[in-house]
Amino acid sequence: MQNDIFTEEFGDSAHQPILLIAGSMSQGPASWPDAFVGRLAAGGRRVIRYDHRDTGRSATIDFATDPYTWHDIKNDALAVLDAHGIDAAHVVGHSAGGVLAQWIAVEHPERVMTLTTIGSSPLGRQEGLTVMRALMGEEQPEGSLPPPTKEFVEFYRKLITSPPPSTRKEQIDFQLAEARVLAGGLPIDEEEERRQAERLHDRARDLSALANHRLAAAADMTFEPVGVLHTVKAPTLVVEGTHEPAKPGHGALIAEAIPGAELLIVEGMGHMLTPQVHQTLADAVLRHTATVRG
């Protein structure tokens, strides 16, 4: 199986490295906007952003012939560090990328200088099952993670019960509608958001390959190690928005589980890194990564 991962590097290679891990089914620029990345690079960091397998410009895979798991997707992040000759980096993950970042911090502490999660869920708590139960209208068992918001559930429930968008226009319209839900309490620039959706659509090798991430998760919904966050040694920053629609309250649970973790609540932020929060988030990441120097 050929698994070429597309990466991009910003800033001076002599500076402290930051590895940005995007969320599930997301190209690097979708989770990590250029303006945010530019602030990190301007702040004296070597920033690496990459497309997950089966997204963006990375290789697409015939899942039926070469199935993979989220364990493999996690190892792709380590392969990116290897390819750039980086022994250890400041690891920053968004959404499911934050779960991968936690997983790496547990399994490979020597490779994680600091850990930052943004809009993520605690490793080992099966956030995917919580979302699935919510979409199916099932009761959440005692001890489950807080479910997504009503608006989130209604949007994605309609999506899974309707024909998927097929034309370029339909797919871009969907991305714009999704952004309205994920932006939380902050307005979006609809024209700019549409231009970004068009750019992401046109840079992707095969948008249908995104579904392979769901297949990888469905193959084993309990793939994450359980009860291990207390072993994380890296200084940890956990960021969540006050209007997080997908994983409300999950950030506090990460911060509670990791000794010494700092919790940052960003007013108005939802599940997206909208322009209004770029400076706040960049400042927080730069401050946090300055606490440890390799």
pLDDT exceeds 80 at position 223: no
Residue range 41-68: average pLDDT?
96
Average of pLDDT values for 12-20?
A: 97
Mean pLDDT to the nearest integer, 7-13: 98
d(CA 188, CA 196): 12
pLDDT score recorded for residue 217: 84
- Classify 78 as helix, strand or coil: helix
pLDDT at 150: 96
Per-residue pLDDT, 1: 47
Mean pLDDT of 20-25: 95
Q: ∠ at Cα 39 (36, 40), nearest 5°?
A: 95
Element (H, E) at 198: helix 190-203
Average pLDDT in the chain: 94
- 147-157 pLDDT, tens digit per residue, is 999 999 999 99
Q: Which fold has domain 7-125+205-289?
A: Rossmann fold (3.40.50)
pLDDT band at 35 (very low <50, low <70, confident <90, very high): very high
The full set of domain ranges for the chain reads 7-125+205-289
Interatomic CA distance for residues 171 and 201, integer angstroms: 8
Confidence of residue 72 (pLDDT cuts 50, 70, 90): very high
Quick one: pLDDT band at residue 222, thresholds 50, 70, 90?
Answer: low
What is 137-181 written as a DSSP string?
Answer: TPPPPTTPPPPPPHHHHHHHHHHHTSPPP-SHHHHHHHHHHHHHH
CA angle 136, 140, 141 (to 5 degrees): 140
Spatial CB neighbours of 170, under 8 Å, sequence gap ≥ 6: none
CB 196 within 8 A of CB 38: no
**Is the pLDDT at 234 greater than 50, yes or no?**
yes
**Among 72-81, 110-119, 159-168, where is mean pLDDT lowest?**
159-168
Q: Which of 6-20, 86-100, 260-274, 280-294 has the lowest mean pLDDT?
A: 280-294
